[in-house]
Chains A and B, each alone.
Chain A
Amino acid sequence: MSYTELTVWTRGIIMDKEGRDIVNSISASARLEGKFAQAMENYVDNPDRTNAPTRKYCRLSDNVLENELTYENEKPNIVVLVEGTMVKGWDYMRGMPPGGTLVINTHYTPEYMIRFVPGPERLAQLVCVDAAKLADHKWLYYRLGQLGLDRLSTEGAAERSKAIAPDIAAPLIAAVVKSTGIVKRETIEPMIANKKAFQMALDELHIMPLNPVAA
């Protein structure tokens, strides 16, 4: 895998940091492994609106990144949906080359979720992980309480700690790492704050193999 794009779809403010943690930690560990990597925010989607869909991007390559200045992933190999309902809302599969991976945070099974995926023939696997439950099923309510304190900025809206992936990002990172092997588990695990959820997610993933691509 010489060049890989990862796009995370998340919701403005309430799940903004989760999305950012995923791309930041994966690109940081890729750099530790000696790859060229880049992670960036999206400023097209107006991410400072509660619940609005926003994207976070990450690129890894064995060589120098040539498209460093492009602000959008045009051909994502891996797509992560931080909130399950997003599966109905956007064409997150746009530009995905065959053999892609879709990771969804949901308590439904991949068999149920596949009906909402536009163009599932491009997927090599569909991964569902109940990240909200594994991390803390009440996570949303805690965050909504904190949001009351400061909802004006996207950067650090509800962040009271600098920890990486203290909640639902941890199981999602585990899902990405286990299903794609994009970075090594040993490299990324020390960065994760919620190690328990990370480890539980490794065991409790639902991976639905779809259309394998001949190497």
Chain B
Amino acid sequence: MSTKGTHIPDWLTVPFAGITPAPSQEKGQDLFPTGNWRSIRPVYRDKLPPCNNACGTNEKIQGYLDLVKRGKYLDAYALIKEDMPFPSVTGRVCYHPCEQACNRGQYDEAISIRAVERFLGDLGQALARDVVKPGKPNGKKVAVVGSGPAGHSAAYQLARLGYKVTILEKSPKAGGLNRGGIPDWVLPQRVLDREIERLVELGVTIKTNVEVGKDVTWDGLKKNYDACVLAVGLTEPNSVRAEGENKDGVLYGLPFLRDIGMGTSKVKLGARVAVIGGGNTAIDCAREALRQGAVEVTMITVESNPEEMPCVPEDLHDMLEEGVELLHGRAMTAVLGNGRVEALQLYRARFSGAINASPITVNRGAPAERFAVDNVIIAVGQHASLTWLPKEFKNERGTINVDRFGRLGDTNFFAAGDIVQWGSGQPLMVVNAVGDGKRVAFNLDKVLRGEPLEPRKVPVDVIMDLNRMNMTYFPHFPRVRQAMLPPVSRRKTQGEVIQPFTEQQAVEEASRCFSCGTCNACDNCYLVCPEPCIVRSARSNGLYKILVNYCKGCRVCIEECPTGCLEGVPELDFDTGVVRMDTAFAISPGLHGRQAQELLNLGSRPAKEI
């Protein structure tokens, strides 16, 4: 470039004839602030990764995977604890909607988020002191009815907000569905016990053997507490309305698991066991039946094939590995036997999915089948028992009638968990109950502080999808598998079936995360910028800065951003970043004009100087 005709600043004075020294980077950027060549400005804007959005309690999944990747396990554990009181439990039992939503699932295989969560949860369990502290006491008392996932979560969040929380639990041990609905070989009791200890450490009082409606009344709750969260869950098993269901040897799914979990089970199973139902509880019952001494376990479902069963495919796969048989397209119409179950009467049936009539169509024209068994476990769902609840708060589904904030009318009573979500189209799972408990706790806090309630808003356009990311930077890499006990040996033990990740595995798996839509400080923009106009002040998240005066808007960083965090925003949308230049190569104001002025003054200068 020739500098002829352009004003040359003092610091660029020619040291010897004809040679202009190259300016330093900084000086060059001052001399030619090319920011005004730009029509698009690159902007870092973090978007919502799909895993965070899909999670029932909106854990910051990308955030903790990123921290695990960097070896900051304690930070990761603290991050997870913001939304989830017991990562060690959900790390074992969650049906991981996050992994279904994971963008990596469309690319090769989803990240094993649950396994990393379990790794962090176990790390937290080993800590002598938890990272979470109770809030500053505000002198208000809240009762939480039920110590299952929703109650635990609500109590945890309320304790962190400074409330004095009392949990009322009707069973002899706290834990609710976590203890009574989940077998030991999925969630060992010691893990849950430790999490409940953590809750007590936060200052939560747990009163066991206290049943609402019997030991405390609605009015009593109203009188003794400032507010109350009802997280009573669905406790009563559904029947299939078959003849002879009251015979000996007929068991129901949830009580069967609950009694084993609470240690009060007196059941002795025969050699042949049938399980009625095709859901997740039915699968747990079938697998538990093997461990309780059954030899042949058959699962009888009305669905005509395994794909239609309302269960998690992995659990189904594990169950089949353990040797449970499947019998599809049958409905049990009667339990046969003389006082004790000897056989089942089955008819061909199909699941029609009708909403107003019975969803199951039984083909009575076909001959009945006789299926010889010693025990039958019926696991076809649960319903609520709410005899103590005032009538105006019950709805037609037999659950609690709440507004969209989980509040019962204008009272200070809130409800959370399965008791609210059942029949709402929301799948019933631990993490959804935890999320519900969390949201209700925050809503309750707002009501007691007299603030208006606002629904949670997620702008859909900022949930990152795969098409907006640059896949060039992500090599295909298989998922790290969790080790499992071999099927033959696990059939007879209560030992955990799925083994935890080692530290190395956890880091390896977390490193597969795309960090969808979020800056993970990969330095790519810093490296690809053809001009040195991205500054990196520290190697950690979100600490890049774009020199707006100098960036030409070439879009290379936007195109090359692996996670899609960088966006191009039209320059005219910003009021800032105005750099006035006289020409392309002279800075404002009026360097060009100054030259003209010098020329005008030329006549008055002595000839020698010129």
Contact = CB atoms under 8 A, between A and B. Distances in A.
Interface of A: 11, 44-46, 49, 51-54, 83-91, 94, 106, 108, 112-113, 115-116, 118
26 contacts: A44-B583, A45-B583, A45-B584, A49-B584, A51-B37, A53-B36, A53-B37, A83-B39, A84-B39, A85-B38, A85-B39, A85-B571, A87-B572, A88-B577, A89-B579, A89-B580, A90-B36, A90-B580, A90-B583, A91-B588, A91-B590, A94-B593, A106-B572, A113-B572, A115-B575, A116-B578
Contacts of A46: 1, 584-585
Contacts of B35: 89
B580 A91 contact: yes
A91 B38 CA distance: 16
B5 interface: yes
B582 A91 contact: yes
Given A45-B584, A84-B39, A89-B578, 9 more contacts: A49-B584, A52-B584, A89-B579, A89-B581, A91-B581, A91-B590, A108-B572, A115-B575, A118-B580
B152 interface: no
A83 B553 CA distance: 14
B590 A94 contact: yes
Interface in B563-610: 570-572, 575, 577-585, 588-590, 593
B60 interface: no
Contacts of A49: 584
Contacts of B570: 85
Contacts of B589: 91
Contacts of A106: 572
B96 interface: no
A10 B580 CA distance: 15
A44 B38 contact: no
Contacts of A91: 580-582, 588-590
Shortest Cβ-Cβ A-B pairs, 8 listed: A89-B36, A85-B39, A45-B584, A51-B37, A85-B571, A88-B578, A91-B580, A52-B584
B552 interface: yes
A84 B584 CA distance: 16
B579 A88 contact: yes
Interface in B1-28: 1, 5-6
A88 B572 contact: yes
A83 B36 CA distance: 11
A51 B582 CA distance: 16
Contact of A45 (B578, B579, B585): B585
B588 to A, nearest CB: 6
A139 B227 CA distance: 64
Given A52-B37, A116-B578, A118-B580, A85 B572 contact: yes
Most buried by A among B38, B575, B579, B584: B584
A84 B570 CA distance: 10
Contacts of A83: 39
A89 B37 contact: yes
Contact-size category for B: 20 to 34
Contacts of B1: 46
Contacts of B38: 51, 85
Nearest to B40: A85
Contacts of B572: 84-85, 87-88, 106, 108, 112-113, 116
Contacts of B580: 89-91, 118
Contacts of B593: 94
A92 B584 CA distance: 12
B119 to A, nearest CB: 48
Given A51-B552, A108-B572, A90 B5 contact: no
Contacts of A112: 572
A86 B36 contact: yes
Contacts of B585: 45-46
A51 B588 CA distance: 19
A44 B5 contact: yes
A45 B1 CA distance: 10
Contacts of B581: 53, 89-91
A6 to B, nearest CB: 18
B172 to A, nearest CB: 70
A90 B582 contact: yes
A44 B589 CA distance: 17
A89 B36 CA distance: 5
Nearest to B38: A85
Contacts of A51: 37-39, 552-553
A87 B585 CA distance: 17
Most buried by A among B38, B39, B571, B593: B39
Contacts of A113: 572
Nearest to A47: B584
Nearest to A74: B596
Contacts of A89: 35-37, 578-581
Given A88-B572, A89-B36, A106-B572, A53 B577 contact: no
Contacts of B552: 51
Contacts of A11: 37
B489 to A, nearest CB: 64
Contacts of B36: 53, 85-86, 88-90
Nearest to A104: B572
A53 B584 contact: yes
Contacts of A54: 584
A86 B578 CA distance: 10
Nearest to A113: B572
Most buried by B among A53, A85, A86, A89: A89
Contact of A94 (B39, B553, B575, B582): B582
A112 B589 CA distance: 24
A209 to B, nearest CB: 22
Contacts of A87: 572
Nearest to B577: A88
A54 B36 CA distance: 12
Nearest to A51: B37
Nearest to A106: B572
Contacts of B577: 88
Nearest to B34: A52
Nearest to B552: A51
Contacts of B5: 44
A63 B5 CA distance: 30
Most buried by B among A45, A54, A83, A94: A94
A51 B584 CA distance: 10
